[in-house]
A and B are shown apart, each in its own frame.
Chain A
Amino acid sequence: MSAMWASVLVVGAGTVALKAVGPVAVGGRRVPQRLLGVLAMLAPALLAALVVVEGFAAGRSLVLDARLAGLAAGGLAVVGRAPIWAVVLAGGVATALVRLLT
């Protein structure tokens, strides 16, 4: 099986299970507040890491390249409350443009 399909199937099954934890397994039982707090903070922590890796990592080094322009354009679009497709487009076009010109 290809890496792509293996990932699709495992992530799909795992996510179905994670969403079911509350409605199917936990029911009315109480869960420690601190554990819930940590689980809720996983998304912001990981998304910030993904911004760093996707925006600055090149193999095992951190570099400033055309992607910085993409992040800047995307950041401006986010601040300006642009729709998400416009953020993605701004990031892609700005990166491609800087790459073309340099």
Chain B
Amino acid sequence: MRRGFQVAAPLLPAAVALGVSFGVLARAAHWSAAAAVVMSATTFAGSAQVATVSVLGAGGGVAAAVVAALLLNARYAPIGITVAESFRGRFLRRLAEAQLVIDESWALSGGGTPGFDRGVLLGAGVALWIGWTGGTAVGALLGGVIGNPSSFGLDGAFAALFLALLASQLRSRRAVAAATGGALIAALLTPVAPPGVPILAASLAALAGWSRS
């Protein structure tokens, strides 16, 4: 665990900063500070949280927001499976520890490789959770003070944030293909489908992962 804290230290500022960004953006989109913090503490996944705020704000409705967010987090099923064998003990303990598996803690711990270190996974997960939830609280308070002026460029800030999150996912040729397909589907459907649908339909581009690499 302690090694996990040390290994996660360089990523902590980024987790705090993204948490602050989420808190500020959520407040600017007229969310309460409590909702932003509760979401960070339970969902603990940046892309899905920002997508929820974004789709709701665009008038996509609860169903579209929830489905888009959960599709974004669907990657945690395969990620969790790669480290499943190291989780032992009672149901509640495994359930709690499983929540510490996020992109960053999984990558730091060497998830899916022979050198996988469970202590690093859990330690990094705890450190990043504290940074993420704490950052959200700070951002939600700041956002309340800044108030409406920040909503002026809010849509541009959201777009830039999604771009940054996307860049961090483009680690393989298949990921680039999936992203290109997703962007094309969203662009083609926007003129003809209700808000929310173009984003959900873009998930079809994930079939780029079907081929054996």
Report which A residues bind B (CB closer than 8 A): 3-8, 10-16, 18-24, 26-28, 31, 33-57, 59-62, 66-67, 69-71, 73-75, 77-78, 83-85, 87-97, 99
Contacts and interface: CB of A to CB of B under 8 A. Distances in A.
Nearest to B185: A49
Nearest to A3: B62
B206 A41 contact: yes
The 6 closest A-B pairs by CB, nearest first: A91-B160, A70-B156, A95-B156, A22-B80, A74-B160, A96-B153
B199 A22 contact: no
A89 B154 CA distance: 10
A21 B70 CA distance: 13
Given A4-B56, A28-B84, A83-B17, A71 B163 contact: yes
Given A11-B70, A16-B42, A46-B68, A70 B160 contact: yes
Q: Is the interface of B mostly helix, strand, loop or mixed?
A: helix
B163 A75 contact: yes
Contact of B190 (A35, A62, A71, A88): A62
B90 to A, nearest CB: 10
B179 interface: yes
B160 A6 contact: no
A88 B31 contact: no
Contact of B160 (A28, A33, A71): A71
